Every structure is written in structure tokens, then in C-alpha cells.
Structure 1
Amino acid sequence: MTDLEVERLSVRLRDATRDEHERTESSPFVTALMDGRLDRQAYAALLQQSYLFYSVLEEAGERWRGDPVVGPFVSDALVRGPALEADLAWLCGPRWRSALAPLPATQRYVDRLRAVCFSSRSAFVAHHYTRYLGDLSGGQIIRSKLRTIYGLTGDGVRFYLFDDIAKPKVFKDDYRALIDTAPWDTGERTNLVAEANEAFRLNRGVFDDLGKALGVGWTGSCDR
């Protein structure tokens, strides 16, 4: 690693979150879903919980849209709310909103987003980075597996389709450059890394709760 890479916050962020990232990706729920051992209902349950925390994160994005420091991170091309709504309507029918109920871990996730993402620039970017760069990277592998295992191509997996991002790698490189060039102070740099690790832990908690719920019979409804 070069001296320049050591100085880059995006590299530090990637390296410092690697362990939490890998633990989250290897959670039993995700493993079972990607192995085809769960049905579409389990996938719909994941989208239901995702809709709840993405809604808060994207609300926070509107709070920061005009901010000179973190406003450039807010991109309409990343917004997932409408895609999640379309997927849930297709998977669960027109009354999908009536089945929305946060699992305990989802509620903790939502509470954390509301506690930090509307007041802290670095915390907002930490959660924004964790979600959206993950969607543009590992999320594309997930979409491919969902297509193979569950027969989902367009409808049902629009969450993973970024129609307005023609070149994901270029977009991700530009995003990391924003992290590196934003005028963070020392405390913000430290907080960004710490909060990104917290974001991975919160996300893993949602996966754990989904696994527990499905183990005893998922109580959420996704019937047409």
C-alpha cells in the first residue's frame, strides 16, 4: 500500500469495516436465501424491512441535499424508495403497506438513523456509503442469484437495478473520491469509520431477526 493510499479515507474506511462487512454478508439468513433454501416470501420479508430503513435514510438525504460538504453524495440515481415500492407491490399485492411492521432490529436501525443522520454529516455519509455502495457492488451478485434461484428478472428485483447509473465502477470511484476530498475534520473522519461499522452491525441484526422470525414462522403477510 502506498503512502497516498494510507492517507485516503476511502481506503481506511474499506479496510476498517472489512470484518463487520464479511460477518454481515455471511449471516445465516443471507446464506440460506442465496442458497435457495428460502422462498420468495422470505425475500419479500427482507424488502419489507429494507423499505422501513431506506425511507428514513432517504429522508435524511433530503435534509443534506443542499449542504456544501455532503450534498454531493445525495444522488437521485441512488434513491431506492420507488423501486422498493414497485417490488413490494409486485410481490405482495396492492395492500403491501398494511403488512409493514418493523422487527426489533429494524426498529433499532431506524432509531439510530433518526438519531444521527439528520444532525451529523459524517454519520449520514457512513450509512449512505454502507447501503448504496453495497447495493452497487454485492447487490448485483444478489440480483444475479435471485434471477437464477427465484426466477426474478425485472419485476421483484428493481431494488437492485440502477437504470440511471450507466457505469457503476465509475460512479463508485467518483463516490470514493468524494469521501477522500470532503473537508472532514479529524473527529468526523473517526466518526465516519465508527458509524459505518455500526451500520453493518445494525444491518446484521436485521438479518438475524429475519432468520429468527422465519425459524418460528414469519408472521408478516405478503399474500395477494
Structure 2
Amino acid sequence: MAAPSFSESLRARTWASHGDSEGAGFMRDLMTGEGTREDYVALAAQHYFVYDALEHDIDRVANDPIAREFLTDRLTRMPPLTADLEFLIGPDWRSQVRPLPATVRYTERIRELATGWPGGFVAHHYTRYLGDLSGGRAIHRRMRKLFGFDLDGVRFYVFDQIPDPAAFKAGYRERLDAAAWSEDERERVIDEVLSAYRFNIEVFEDLQAAKTPAAV
């Protein structure tokens, strides 16, 4: 039997953390209808800070011969996300959103990697964007049903430049397999993907805590 490819090993070794992230209490409530429109808006606001970190300084990563293979404007989320926030909150939305403590830690890590370790940046790029192309479609459908959105409010989840997400994800995994990383570097990348899932869970925990009234 052939040894698993790097992308197969990456997926297998991070699958439990992926499931923990999807099953976090905040997201579970939102997807089952126990969450509110305000909860969804709060999530979108935290996404703004995360994707600003991923996309604002992306030129720094583009100089790396391996990392640049994963970068494409077809994945860019900031324009649809800012359009969503203007629709959800209003034209002054920038003055009304603040990063939660977990989001601050998360974005600081992404920016650190963008300037110091391209392989680690790819780990976060993989975790976010392939997740958006997978579970994001389910979130898109569910939020439309729960809150009556048409396109405005859920543009973030629409990748209109990627008509075949499955084919795109397959190509992304092929690039992971072709990346000229040593075995030690691949282990580091897997560890950073696990860290990315932990950051996501911590953001969900902060979102949950923010909507829970403090005990008297």
C-alpha cells in the first residue's frame, strides 16, 4: 500500500481538531437556530479582522516560491465581507466593531507568520479558505434560511470566481503535495494547522462568552 500523501496526512491528523472547531458551542447554536442575527453579525465582525490579517500584507508572502503557489485573487474575501458588514451594521460599521481577545492573538500570529515563516502562513491560509469552500456553503444556506438573507449579508460565503469548489480544493491539495518542504517542515506545517483550529475555537469561545450575561 502506498504511503499517504502529505495532504492526506495533513487532513487525517487535523480532522479531530476540525470537528471540534465546527462543533464549538457558538457555531452549533448558530447552525441549529438557537443563535440570533446579532450572533451572526458578531461572527462576521471577527472575520473582518482575521481576513484583514490574511490579505492585507499578502505581498510579503508572495515573494516565497512555495507560498505564492497558493495565493490567488479568486479566494479574496475582504470586498464581499466589508459589503456584508455595511449591510448588516450600516455605513459606520468600522467604528462599531472590535476584535475580541482571541481574535487579537489569532491575527497577531498570522501577521507574524506573513513576515517570518511562509509555511506557517500557508497553514492558516489552508485552514481558513478550504474551510470556507467546504463548510462555508452550509453556513451560507443556513443563514439565508434563518435570517432571510438573499445575497446581501452572506456575500462572504459566495466564491463567484470558483465555480467548481471541489476541483479547486483538489488542485490546492496537489500543490500541498508538490511543495518542496522537508519532512521536518511538513511536521511544522501540520502543527500550525492544529494551532489555527485552536485559534478558531478560542474565537468561538470568546463570542459565546460575549453574548452570555455575567453572573450577578
Q: Percent same amino acid among aligned pairs?
A: 43
What is the CA deviation profile of residues 124-167 of structure 1, one whole-angstrom value per residue up to 9, with x for unaligned ones? 11000000000000110111111111112210000000000111
Query: Which of residues 117, 120, 128 is equivalent to 2:125?
Result: 128
Instruction: Give the structure 1 partner of residue 2 of structure 2.
Output: 3
SS of aligned partner of 1:152: coil
Query: Which of residues 71, 74, 84 is equivalent to 1:74?
Result: 71
SS of aligned partner of 1:165: coil
Instruction: Give the structure 2 partner of residue 14 of structure 1.
Output: 11
Separation in 2, partners of 1:64, 1:21: 25
Separation in 1, partners of 2:82, 2:59: 19
Output the amino acid matched with 1:158.
R
CA-CA distance at 1:72 after TM superposition: 1.4
Instruction: Give the structure 1 partner of residue 197 of structure 2.
Output: 200
Query: Which of residues 146, 149, 157 is equivalent to 1:149?
Result: 146
Comparing 62-71 with 132-141, which one deviates more in the overlay?
62-71
Q: Is the 8 A contact 2:64 2:118 kept in 1?
A: no
SS of aligned partner of 1:100: coil
CA-CA distance at 1:38 after TM superposition: 1.8
Q: What's the TM-score, normalizing by structure 2?
A: 0.95
Output the amino acid matched with 1:90.
F
Q: What's the TM-score, normalizing by structure 1?
A: 0.92
Separation in 1, partners of 2:100, 2:82: 19
Instruction: Give the structure 1 partner of residue 84 of structure 2.
Output: 87
Instruction: Give the structure 2 partner of residue 111 of structure 1.
Output: 108
Task: Say what the alpha-carbon RMSD is for the aligned residues.
Answer: 1.2
Output the amino acid matched with 1:142.
I
Separation in 2, partners of 1:36, 1:117: 37
SS of aligned partner of 1:77: helix
Q: Does 1:159 align with 2:156?
A: yes
Q: Is the 8 A contact 2:74 2:161 kept in 1?
A: yes
Q: Is the 8 A contact 2:61 2:114 kept in 1?
A: no
CA-CA distance at 1:111 after TM superposition: 1.4
Output the amino acid matched with 1:178.
R
Q: Does 1:101 align with 2:98?
A: yes
CA-CA distance at 1:106 after TM superposition: 0.6
Instruction: Give the structure 2 partner of residue 24 of structure 1.
Output: 21
Report the number of matched residues.
214
Separation in 2, partners of 1:59, 1:181: 26
Q: Is the 8 A contact 2:85 2:153 kept in 1?
A: yes
| Structure 2, unaligned runs of 5 or more | none
Output the amino acid matched with 1:58.
E
